[in-house]
Every structure is written in C-alpha cells, then in structure tokens.
Structure 1
Amino acid sequence: MTSTSFAKAAIGLALLLAPLPASAHDEKPIGDAVNALPIFDAHMHYKEPAWTEFPVASVVELMDRSGVAMALVSSTPDEGTIMLWEYAPNRVVPELRPYHGSAGSSNWTKAPGMEAYLAERLERYPHEGIGEFHIHRLDISDEALFRQVIAMAKARDIFLHVHSGPEPVRWLYSLDRQVKIIWAHAGLGERAETVHALMAEFPELVADTSLREYDIVGADGGLDPEWEAILLAFQDRLMVGSDTWVNGQWENYTSIIASHRYWLSKLPEDAARKIAYRNAERLFGREISMEVIGKR
C-alpha cells in the first residue's frame, strides 16, 4: 500500500469510528409525522415493458397514493422518460439513460455512435442528469467516451447517475474532480463501512438509497447501527428511490415507498426531511411539497 492510499484508509477508518454528535442521538425521531412529508423519488425508471401495463396516468396515480411529489426519471429507452415528463412536467425531473436499441448495461460504452446519441438527446430535451448507467467492470479504454460524457454534464451543470462499486466512482473523479455524481443504490451490495468511507472521501458525492431499505432496517426493526451512522453523517447528500426497473416494482410501488418512510420515521425530523425531499430541492432547484399531489 502506498503512503497516499494508507493515509486515505486511515482517514476513512477514523471517520467511520468517530462518535456521532450527542444531539444526533438525543433528538426525538420524527415518528408518524413522516407520513406528512413529500417524497422525492431519486431513482425511477419508466422502461418500455411498463408502458402498456402502467400508462403514464397510472404512474402519477401511484406517486399520488404514495405521497411522492416528484421523481428523477430515466428509462430504457429515453422515450419513456419523455412520455412521463410531457404528461406530468411538474412531477418529473428527466435524466438521460444511454440504453437504447442494442446498447444496454453491459455494452453501452462500446456502442457505435453513443456520444452523438447522448449529445442529440441532451440538446433536444431538458435532461438534468446522465444515467442511471452501469459500470460493471472498469475499463480504462473507455476514458475518451467518459471524458466526453463528463464534458456534456459539466456544460449543463447536471449529474452523472452511476451504478457501480467504489472504484469506478474514484476513477470518474480522477478524470475530473468537479464532476457531479449520484451514486446509485449507495453502492448496491457494498458493505456499510465501504459506503461510509467513499462518502467521507468525496464530500460532494450524493447517493440514492434505492434497494437499500432492507439493509438500513436492522433485524430488530430499528435502524442498523452502521447505516444509522451513514444516514446521520451524510444526511445532506442522501435521497430515497424506488428503482422501478421491472414491472414488479411498479406493482409494489406503494409498499416500496412505505418501506422508505418506515426507516425515515426512525430519524430526527431535520434529517428525515433532508433525505425525503429537501436535498433534492437544493440539488435540482425545485420547490417540493405535498401541494403538487393530484396535479401534473
């Protein structure tokens, strides 16, 4: 291990082991009042298989029923996002997923014409992110494309929404330290200590907690201690999400959002409000309230 990597590891361990402020432990949880909070769903997809079974009106009805005021939406293909955004422009923050045609999660960086496709869609529609895209295995031969993707995002001051382990996130920051990143699923499958370390290493990194609800809640029904530490330490940089990647997620949408409200109810009110919607207000320049429920 180099001296630099050793220092980073030591800093990360120190942050992980550092005690939380007494106020974080002493503040009363928000409890049932969480049900009055608007939710910003920071990880929604409206993929082609859902278009028939869940028409745009039914998607907004599900959002209304769950108290979801607004959502960050990406789709395979992008036409799904645009359909939903055109139907409910005040409820959808669109982002551009690269997947279309034969370009999917495992080969999109190698797909011919990808840079031109992204540029054309970004010029045509008001996307506020590029992603969610996967980096299953870091391939540094993709550097030229990623530099172009980063340049497109920076020119528009929008996010990259990245589904990956920690190393691709570090690599993207090494290409440009100013790139804005949302870490999808807070590193789905990564241990809590790894999530804590990466969030501490990059103070600008934002994450959504989609598919993490069962990690956050411990076996006793309370918050898992390691995840509680993450939620409190990084409460200014976390958002919830549903990840409607298959129709089964749409079928269970109200339950998914309820499961997020459950763990949010265990947090102090200020932290719960930040993660539920206030962070999204700041990051996307929106006013988010329950007043939009029932509207488009």
Structure 2
Amino acid sequence: DADLPVPRRMVELAKQHRLLLHAHSDVEAIERLFGQWPEARILWAHSGFARPEQVREMLRKHKNLWSDLAFRSDQASGGKVSPDWRAAFTEFPDRFLLGTDTYVPERWHYIGEHAAWSRAWLADLPQDLAERIAFKNGDALLGSLKP
C-alpha cells in the first residue's frame, strides 16, 4: 500500500533529494504516490501491467509519469506493434522506455532473446519513435536528474 509508512518515507526522501521514483505499482498506487507529492517524477515499472488505454489515461493525467515496458509482451506480436500500443507510443513519444527485468539470475539468459524480440517490434515503428523508446527517452529522463 503506497500510504504505509515505508512508501511514504521513500516519497519524502525522493522529494528531499529530487530523486526519480521507480514504482512497481498498479494505477491506484501511482495515484496515491502523486497524491503525496504531485510534482513527483515516477518511472512506472511495467506500466503497471495496465491496458494501453489505462496507460494513456495516466500519462495524460500526470506529466511527470514515464512508463517502462520491461517484462511486458503485449505491445507486439510477430514483430508488429499492436494498434492500441502504437496509439499510446504515438501520443506520448517521450514517455515510454524499453527495458528488461532480471529479477532472478536465470533471467540473464534471456536478455539476448529479449533484445532481438524488442528490435523486431521497434522496427515496426518510425525510426525516430523507435529510437526514443529504445534509448533516447531513458537518456533524457536520467540526464534530467543531474544536480
């Protein structure tokens, strides 16, 4: 629960030190985090496993929310980006970040396979948009955190 003492303290520390929050949370918890600190900068892990339209709604509502695509596979099939995700990527070209999730050591064995799969669906997007999702958005977001 985002309102418990430990998450509240994390938000306080992020605010005090101008840190990015990387939240492994659903829509409700993201809303609660922004309720605690409306100016928070949040990288939403796995886009909360929310449907693309829910992700779009959240990005419309919160200008300081970015969505990572780690450990998701619903954005594409057979190298083709789904229409719902294409609409989300097009509407918010600067707010999505490609990622992977190696939450257990054995996941490291799949990084090459994941990279190939990601390159395939990114190739289905306009080059500029694909580059933004692949690395430019991450560079911009993390670069903005410099003191």
Paired position in structure 1 for 2:38: 177
- Give the TM-score normalised by the residue count of structure 1: 0.46
1:216 aligns with 2:75: yes
Q: Distance between the aligned counterparts of 2:2 and 2:55, measured in 1?
A: 22
Q: Is the 8 A contact 1:235 1:271 kept in 2?
A: yes
Q: Is the 8 A contact 1:184 1:210 kept in 2?
A: yes
Using the TM superposition, name which of 179-188 and 277-286 deviates more: 277-286
1:236 corresponds to which of 65, 69, 94: 94
Q: Bigger relative contact order, structure 1 or 2, given CA contacts below 8 A and separation 6+?
A: 1
- The offset of 1:246, in angstroms, is 1.8
Over residues 241-266 of structure 1, what are the superposed CA-to-partner deviations in whole Å (9 max), with x where a residue is unaligned? 11011233111111111111111111
1:193 aligns with 2:35: no
SS of corresponding position for 1:210: coil
The residue identity in structure 1 corresponding to 2:41 is K
Q: Distance between the aligned counterparts of 1:243 and 1:203, measured in 2?
A: 25
Q: Distance between the aligned counterparts of 2:132 and 2:2, measured in 1?
A: 35
Q: Is the 8 A contact 2:79 2:124 kept in 1?
A: no
2:127 corresponds to which of 269, 287, 290: 269
Q: Distance between the aligned counterparts of 2:69 and 2:118, measured in 1?
A: 9
Q: Distance between the aligned counterparts of 2:86 and 2:12, measured in 1?
A: 35
- The offset of 1:151, in angstroms, is 2.1
Paired position in structure 2 for 1:160: 21
2:64 corresponds to which of 194, 201, 204: 204
Q: Is the 8 A contact 1:185 1:208 kept in 2?
A: yes
Q: Distance between the aligned counterparts of 1:278 and 1:151, measured in 2?
A: 29
C-alpha spacing 1:267/1:139, structure 2 compared with 1 (3 Å) = closer
C-alpha spacing 1:139/1:278, structure 2 compared with 1 (3 Å) = closer
Q: Is the 8 A contact 2:40 2:64 kept in 1?
A: no
How many residues are aligned here?
Answer: 144
The residue identity in structure 2 corresponding to 1:145 is V
1:225 corresponds to which of 83, 103, 111: 83
Q: Distance between the aligned counterparts of 2:115 and 2:19, measured in 1?
A: 26
Whose radius of gyration is greater, 1 or 2? 1
Q: Is the 8 A contact 1:242 1:249 kept in 2?
A: no
SS of corresponding position for 1:206: strand
- The offset of 1:177, in angstroms, is 0.2
Q: Is the 8 A contact 2:53 2:84 kept in 1?
A: yes
Question: Within 5 A, what are the aligned runs for 1:66-105?
Answer: none
- The offset of 1:221, in angstroms, is 4.1
Q: Distance between the aligned counterparts of 2:27 and 2:97, measured in 1?
A: 18
The residue identity in structure 2 corresponding to 1:280 is G
The residue identity in structure 2 corresponding to 1:206 is W
1:250 aligns with 2:108: yes
